[in-house]
Amino acid sequence: MQQLSQQATEPRLAPPRHALERLRRRRHIDRMITDWDTTPGRIRVTMVVLVLGVLLSGGIGAYAADARAEAARDIEERIEPLNADVTTLYQSLAAADATVTSGFLSGTLEPSDVRARYDGQIADATARLAQAGAQADADRVTADRIADIAAQLPVYTGLIERARANNRQGYPLGLAYLRSASELMQSSILPEALELQRTQADKLDDAYPRAEAVPVVALAACAVSLAGLVWAQLFLFRRTHRVFNIGLVAATGTVLVGLLWWTVTGVQSAGYLQESSGHSQPVSDALGPAQIAALQARATESLTLVARDGGATENDFDAQMLLLARDEGAGGALGAARRLATDQEGRALVETAIGEAVGYREAHEEVRQLDADGEYGKAVAAALRADPASGLTTFDRLESALTDAVEYEREEFQSDINRAQGWLTGLAVGIGALALAAAVGVVLGVRSRLEEYR
């Protein structure tokens, strides 16, 4: 074999430089193979395999750590903020419609605080649209939806301004404009915003399994390296009759530390991720929709009174209230929120909101009864007056109860995801560094044995 390779090295012409290089490498591999039956040869091969194994399992572990940290960062910095943006967008739009419609209940002069609230809600919606648009750059469908809403919003506000101008002059034409604006909002803009919100909620749900996935390949590679290190030490013990090889022991310890670090961190971060998901899910799947349903119900109630269709839109109100809280809060969005709530406080806040929803429903029924009896003036007064049982105050209480519940869950989400990320900090770099250290340990440990054979 050696002769064969030597023949091959005899150049007829001066061989190119890289050919020589290749030959030298080949000769090295040939020597390892021919040396296999000698002890130093076997030790050398073992060393190479161990170094490669340790580095590989470290690389896989670091990659898995990075993937998890990346997924957690994705949730915290991109998906959840966009999710919160589109939910707030959706809510601001529904709130603006409810606000402006209730302003028409007061007659020809819209109260200035109602006007300011509407302006704020539209400004908020516009800002959220811009933010969501900037974050959704890569996602075509989402970007298109956002553009669609952005195109319709000025049409809506234009109709509202016409409604106001005509209402100010006491013309019923103003109410016809208000109806068509509200129609645009309720049947075109809000459904689009809802789709947007659902897409984002789904993305959030999809991101969690990615962040919580158990890194099976990394763990397996780590176990194989550990087994290899232990086998190598037994092998050296048999050949050299020395119990400890400091380099290999250190390498084994380093790999063990890495494994332990990954496991503890993995379990801890997964736990916090789980908890953060337990706080984001009630918001995106239940409390957010509950807020919208409440606002749409309120807008319908006001529209029924100002557009004076004699309760023809009452079915819409019922539908929204059923979406909000069916069967005294056992079903509907609030029922779901109560089931999804993961802690005592979250549940208590949802229960408060359920109580307020029942109170608002009762106030609404009083308004409808008065209107059905032909007592229009009293019905409007019942919807607007300041006492604790009026439509206005019960709705405000419902709205703030829902806001409290959402804010609580958001804060908990934020602190849990921060803790999860805290655990993951430095994991990828640390695992990489440990793998390098283990590889160095292997090389140093094995080389000291090899030198004994010179």
Partner 1 sequence: MSIRSALASVAVAAVLLVGTTADQSSDRSARNSKAPASEAVPRPSVVSSALSEPTAPRCDDPLGSLRPQGPLPEPGRMPPGSTMADIAERGRLAVAVGLDTYLISSRDPETRQLEGFDIDIAGDIAEAIFGDRSRVDYRQLDLPGRLTAVESRDVDLMVGSTTITCQRRDQVEFSTVYYQAGQRVLVNRGSGVTDLKGLAGKRVCASRGSTSLQTVLADPSGPVPVGVPSVTDCLVMLQLGKVDAVSSDDALLAGLAAQDPRTEIVGPPLNEEPYGVVINPVAPDLVRFVNAVLERRVEDGRWQASYQSWLAAALGPPPSPPEPQYRD
List interacting residues with partner 1 (CB under 8 A).
107-108, 162, 166-167, 169-173, 175-177, 179-180, 183, 186-187, 307-310, 312-313, 315-316, 373-377, 380
Contacts of 145 (CB under 8 A, 6+ apart): 192, 195, 196, 199
Nearest distance, CB of residue 100 and partner 1, angstroms: 15
CB of 171 to partner 1, least distance (A): 4
Contact 96, 122 (CB under 8 A): yes
Contact 302, 368 (CB under 8 A): no
Q: Please, which residue, 88 or 320, has the CB nearer to partner 1?
A: 320
Structure-block tokens of residue 350: 């949802």
Output 98 or 438, the one with its CB closest to partner 1: 98
Residue with tokens 């506000």: 157
Give yes or no for a contact between 63 and 425, defined as CB atoms under 8 angstroms apart: no
Measured between alpha carbons, how far is 159 from 154 in angstroms, rounded to an integer? 9
Q: How far is the C-alpha of 265 from the C-alpha of 64, rounded, in Å?
A: 12
CB of 111 to partner 1, least distance (A): 14
Residue 175 beta carbon to partner 1: minimum distance, rounded to whole angstroms: 6
Decide whether 380 or 446 has the Cβ nearer to partner 1: 380
Please identify, using beta-carbon distances, which residue of 184 and 204 lies nearer to partner 1: 184
Task: Round to whole Å and give the CA distance between 398 and 340.
Answer: 19
Distance CA(405)–CA(354), nearest Å, equals: 11
For residues 180 and 188, give the distance between their C-alpha atoms in angstroms, rounded to a whole number. 11
Smallest gap from Cβ 169 to partner 1, in A, equals: 8
Q: Least distance to partner 1 from the beta carbon of 392, Å?
A: 17
Of 154 and 172, the one with the shorter C-beta distance to partner 1 is: 172
Q: How far is the CB of 391 from partner 1 (least distance, A)?
A: 16
Q: Are 257 and 301 in contact (CB under 8 A)?
A: no
Shortest CB 155 distance to partner 1, Å: 10
Under 8 Å between Cβ of 96 and 64:
no
Of the two residues 159 and 349, which places its CB atom closer to partner 1 in the complex?
Answer: 159
| Cβ closest to partner 1, residue 188 vs residue 403 | 188
Q: CA–CA separation, 287 vs 403, rounded Å?
A: 9
Contact 180, 159 (CB under 8 A): yes
Pick between residue 68 and residue 179 the one whose CB is nearest to partner 1.
Answer: 179
In this complex, which beta carbon is closest to partner 1, that of residue 35 or of residue 375? 375
Beta carbon of residue 387, minimum distance to partner 1 (angstroms, whole number): 19
Minimum distance from CB of 381 to partner 1 (Å)? Answer: 9
Q: Which is nearer to partner 1, 16 or 154 (CB)?
A: 154
